[in-house]
Amino acid sequence: MKAAKLVVGLACLYAGIVAAATPEQDVAQAVDKLTQAMWHKDIPALQALTADNLSYGHSSGNVQDKQAFIADIETGRSGFNSLKMLNQKIILSGDTALVRNHFSAEAVNSGKVVPTEIENFQVWQKQDGKWLLIGRQAFRF
């Protein structure tokens, strides 16, 4: 009986500690998953985290759709030795999230290593219960 009360007490304590994530935390997690997928060439994850109507803008001015964005990573035309998002700020408006961060990477473009320090603006939308990237524009500061 005492052991059962202990188990119930621990379960209640654990349930209280593991609270539901806030929408901001959900978006931050989606951004991190996308970052990791880009870095590690996880094509299924890239497919799952991006909307079909994705508009992906590079700091060079080049804009890609979902297929071109993913194809560049899949073929190795675009890749990363390191990649992280810094100083992230998230603003929510309903089912839309505006994300600004600093994109810090050692990029590999067509086999050439390119240190990359740019600003990044992402638009995420909650579709069917999950956050998807629908727009991204990078720019030099």
- Say if 77 falls within a structural domain: yes
The DSSP line for 67-79 is HHHHHHHHHTSEE
CATH number assigned to the domain comprising residue 66: 3.10.450.50
- Say if 115 falls within a structural domain: yes
Contact by Cβ (8 Å): 134, 99? no
Q: What is the pLDDT along the chain (141 residues), one digit of tens a residue?
A: 555 454 444 454 455 556 789 999 999 999 999 999 999 999 999 999 999 999 999 999 999 999 999 999 999 999 999 999 999 999 999 999 999 999 999 999 888 999 999 999 999 999 999 999 999 999 998
Beta strands at 130-139 and 50-57: parallel, antiparallel or unpaired:
parallel
Domain region containing 38: 22-139
- Say if 55 falls within a structural domain: yes
- Say if 114 falls within a structural domain: yes
